[in-house]
């Protein structure tokens, strides 16, 4: 570590910066971002385009450097050319040549394997060099965009090479999902990460939390007085959370076959959605308060026992079928999928949140690939009215009110109400009152990674998962994963591609419930 020529005053003032008032974008401290796995798919498709778009909007730190680390040997110039190609191909807007040039000027590359000490020595030299040139300490953010098996190696190497802490600047580590593949792995990874870094330095990515739509759920619940009085077991009958995809496994067979639907989506994203539905209002919208409330929800969900699992969890795999007017192959016929794979491409759970607010209300979660269409939604069904004086003949009749929060593709809120059919008789049928976010805002939502990278560089952990949160999620899913892998699991049901999913999923529902059409 080199001494910074300008030095830092011994007693820096912590007073608020009066110049930030009124600014939509708060300043981000000068930062060097180091991406491990810099030539991988995530870096090329998401991280580099996100960095370009932040640069385009003038939202990067005043001083920003990027260092790519990967196994392949290449010169800085070659890596810059790769960055440019990835940005041109995957950016949400056509890059401005001058902005792109300015961004790439500050890009360096370090080749080597992640367990090689010389990689970290070289990294240290570059980081120190940037600081010396800048004449001020620069924050450091290490982004682990590698295979999860490298996470402990990289973290421990950062520790042993003295790169995990900086006397005058913030050091943060951003860890991509999956954070472990079992509860034991997650605990072990947390133990190893937290033996090097403090929890406040760790930013575990769940990119769903960076989506504007998920953040809107907080505003929907806690900025509107009309919903909260109804938001409990006295008025809500059930909650359904669906994340359906119409596409198959595509090019992700390698990862997906080892993960499956439960670990790919339910263990992280869908449990996060459940938390947003079920959490108590936080005292303040700070990282710790929000995450405290989410952890309480996860801890209120009983850990499934082997005897309960067949009654509360269903898995299935898609078979050949029809999607988008075309014949499509089954999962086992997809490229890269082992012929005898028993990986589930569909998973559905019935969970209970055993606390004062939610006791007795089933939370149904389902996700799957190659379903009828792509949709992510949360449907909250209210209890029926206690007495019905209206005729049910000749109409669809009165149905319980249902509030549907759609996260994609058309973000919005829909409320199902009963309304009289025009005519001489008092006949009721359900109608929808709809609100679509796209009709009500001028601004375009930023990509999730743009928001998350900025927040991590600013040190705001609100949209990242905490260690106890991750372990609480695994506590719920781990027994199900183990059961499905065991001998008692029974044959793996199938469902035709392009369908609503397996018939077995209906077995999770109470008699009075039904799955919403996908």
Partner 1 sequence: MAATSDAVWSAHGTAPDEIEAALRQLLVERHAENDKFVPARVLNMIAFVDRQWTGEIANRLSGVGRYHASRLLVLAYEPRRERLDARVTIAAEGDPDAGELALLRETVVVEIGKHHLDDLLTIADPLVVTDLPTLLWSPHGHEDVVQELLALCQAVLVDSVDEPVAREALERACLLSDRAYVVDLAWLRSTPWRERVAGAFDAPWLRGELPGITGVSVRHHPDSTVAALLLIGWLASRLRWTVGPLEGDGVTMTGRARSERQDVALRLQAAPELQVRGLEGVTIDTASGRCLRLDRGRGGLRASSRDAAGKTREWTIPGASRGEAGILGEGIRQALLRDATYVPAVKTAYSMLS
Question: In terms of C-beta distances under 8 Å and separation of at least 24 residues, what long-range contacts does 328-332 make, across chains too?
Answer: 328/248, 328/370, 328/497, 328/498, 329/248, 329/497, 330/494, 330/497, 331/248, 331/249, 331/369, 331/370
**DSSP readout, 129-184?**
HHHHHHTS--EEEEEE-S-GGGHHHHHHHHHHTT-S--SSS-EEEEEPSPS-SSHH
Is-catalytic flag, 269?
A: yes
Q: Which is nearer to partner 1, 383 or 516 (CB)?
A: 516
Helices (H), 414-466: 448-458
Nearest of 120, 194, 200 to residue 160 by alpha carbon = 120
> Tokens for 229?
């009085």
- Tallying the residues shown for the chain, one arrives at 518
Q: Which is nearer to partner 1, 93 or 510 (CB)?
A: 93
Answer for the pair 410, 438: CB distance below 8 angstroms, yes or no: yes
Q: Which is nearer to partner 1, 65 or 177 (CB)?
A: 65
- Torsion angle (degrees, nearest 10) of CA 493, 498, 501, 503: -70
Q: Which is nearer to partner 1, 107 or 279 (CB)?
A: 107
Nearest of 486, 503, 506 to residue 306 by alpha carbon = 486
Residue 187: C-alpha distances to residues 137, 162, 466 (Å): 33, 24, 12
Nearest of 317, 343, 257 to residue 493 by alpha carbon = 317
Answer for the pair 82, 88: CB distance below 8 angstroms, yes or no: no
Q: Roughly how many angstroms between the first and final C-alpha of the chain, as a whole number?
A: 57
User: Least distance to partner 1 from the beta carbon of 441, Å?
Assistant: 6
Q: Which is nearer to partner 1, 97 or 517 (CB)?
A: 97
Q: Which is nearer to partner 1, 63 or 269 (CB)?
A: 63
Give 289's contacts (C-beta < 8 A, 6+ positions apart).
Answer: 282, 283
User: Least distance to partner 1 from the beta carbon of 7, Å?
Assistant: 9
User: Least distance to partner 1 from the beta carbon of 462, Å?
Assistant: 20
Write down the catalytic residue from 56, 65, 207, 269: 269
User: Least distance to partner 1 from the beta carbon of 439, Å?
Assistant: 5
Give 198's contacts (C-beta < 8 A, 6+ positions apart).
Answer: none
Q: Which is nearer to partner 1, 98 or 511 (CB)?
A: 98
**Which residues, listed in sequence order, are joined to residue 174 by a DSSP beta bridge?**
143, 203
Q: Which is nearer to partner 1, 29 or 496 (CB)?
A: 29
Q: Which is nearer to partner 1, 303 or 410 (CB)?
A: 410
User: Least distance to partner 1 from the beta carbon of 9, Å?
Assistant: 5
Answer for the pair 332, 339: CB distance below 8 angstroms, yes or no: yes
What is the gyration radius of the CA atoms in the chain, in angstroms? 25
Percent composition of the chain: helix, strand, coil (DSSP 3-state, to 5): 40, 20, 40
> Tokens for 441?
């805002």
User: Least distance to partner 1 from the beta carbon of 147, Å?
Assistant: 31
User: Least distance to partner 1 from the beta carbon of 75, Å?
Assistant: 22
Residue 142: C-alpha distances to residues 106, 114, 208, 325, 418 (Å): 16, 13, 20, 45, 53
User: Least distance to partner 1 from the beta carbon of 102, Å?
Assistant: 4
Q: Which is nearer to partner 1, 20 or 391 (CB)?
A: 20
User: Least distance to partner 1 from the beta carbon of 166, Å?
Assistant: 13
**Which residues, listed in sequence order, are joined to residue 238 by a DSSP beta bridge?**
381
Answer for the pair 106, 66: CB distance below 8 angstroms, yes or no: yes
> Tokens for 279?
């959490």
User: Least distance to partner 1 from the beta carbon of 296, Å?
Assistant: 34
Interaction site with partner 1 (CB under 8 A)? 5-6, 8-9, 12-15, 17-25, 27-30, 55-58, 60-64, 96-103, 105, 133-136, 373-374, 409-410, 436, 438-444
User: What is the spatial distance between Cα 411 and Cα 441, in angstroms, rounded to a whole number?
Assistant: 12
Give the residue numbers marked as catalytic.
269
């Amino acid at each position: 570590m080199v001494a910074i020529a300008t030095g830092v005053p011994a007693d820096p003032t912590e007073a608020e910066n009066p110049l930030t008032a009124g600014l939509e974008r708060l300043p981000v401290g000068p930062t060097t971002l180091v991406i491990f796995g810099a030539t991988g798919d995530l870096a090329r498709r998401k991280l580099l385009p996100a960095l370009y778009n932040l640069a385009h909007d003038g939202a990067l730190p005043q001083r920003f450097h990027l260092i790519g680390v990967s196994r392949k040997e290449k010169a800085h110039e070659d890596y810059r050319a790769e960055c440019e190609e990835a940005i041109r191909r995957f950016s949400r807007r056509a890059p401005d040549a001058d902005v792109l040039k300015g961004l790439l000027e500050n890009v360096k590359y370090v080749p080597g394997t992640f367990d090689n000490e010389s990689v970290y020595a070289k990294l240290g030299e570059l980081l120190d060099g940037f600081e010396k040139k800048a004449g001020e300490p620069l924050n450091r953010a290490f982004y682990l965009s590698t295979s999860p098996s490298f996470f402990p190696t990289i973290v421990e190497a950062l520790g042993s090479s003295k790169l995990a802490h900086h006397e005058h600047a913030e050091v943060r580590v951003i860890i991509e999902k999956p954070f472990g593949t079992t509860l034991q792995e997650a605990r072990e990874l947390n133990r190893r990460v937290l033996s090097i870094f403090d929890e406040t330095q760790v930013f575990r990515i769940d990119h769903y939390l960076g989506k504007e739509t998920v953040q809107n759920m907080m505003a929907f619940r806690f900025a509107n007085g009309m919903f909260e009085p109804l938001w409990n077991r006295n008025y809500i009958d059930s909650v359904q959370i669906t994340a359906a995809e119409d596409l198959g496994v595509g090019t992700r067979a390698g990862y997906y076959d080892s993960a499956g639907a439960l670990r790919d989506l339910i263990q992280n994203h869908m449990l996060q959605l459940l938390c947003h539905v079920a959490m108590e209002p936080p005292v303040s919208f700070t990282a710790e308060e929000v995450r405290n409330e989410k952890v309480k929800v996860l801890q209120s969900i009983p850990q499934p026992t082997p005897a309960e699992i067949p009654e509360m969890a269903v898995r299935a795999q898609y078979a050949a079928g029809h999607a988008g007017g075309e014949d499509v192959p089954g999962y086992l016929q997809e490229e890269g999928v082992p012929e005898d794979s028993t990986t589930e491409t569909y998973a559905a759970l019935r969970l209970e949140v055993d606390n004062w607010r939610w006791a007795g209300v089933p939370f149904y979660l389902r996700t799957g690939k190659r379903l009828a269409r792509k949709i992510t939604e949360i449907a909250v069904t209210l209890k029926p009215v206690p007495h019905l004086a209206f005729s049910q003949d000749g109409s669809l009749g009165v149905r319980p009110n249902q509030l549907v929060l759609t996260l994609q593709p058309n973000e919005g809120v829909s409320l199902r109400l009963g309304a009289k059919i025009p005519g001489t008789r008092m006949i009721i049928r359900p109608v929808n009152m709809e609100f679509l976010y796209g009709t009500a805002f001028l601004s375009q939502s930023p990509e999730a990674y743009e928001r998350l990278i900025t927040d991590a560089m600013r040190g705001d952990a609100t949209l990242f998962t905490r260690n106890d949160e991750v372990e609480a999620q695994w506590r719920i899913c781990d027994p199900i994963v183990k059961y499905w892998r065991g001998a008692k699991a029974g044959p793996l049901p199938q469902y035709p591609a392009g369908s609503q999913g397996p018939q077995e999923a209906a077995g999770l529902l109470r008699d009075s419930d039904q799955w919403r059409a996908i």
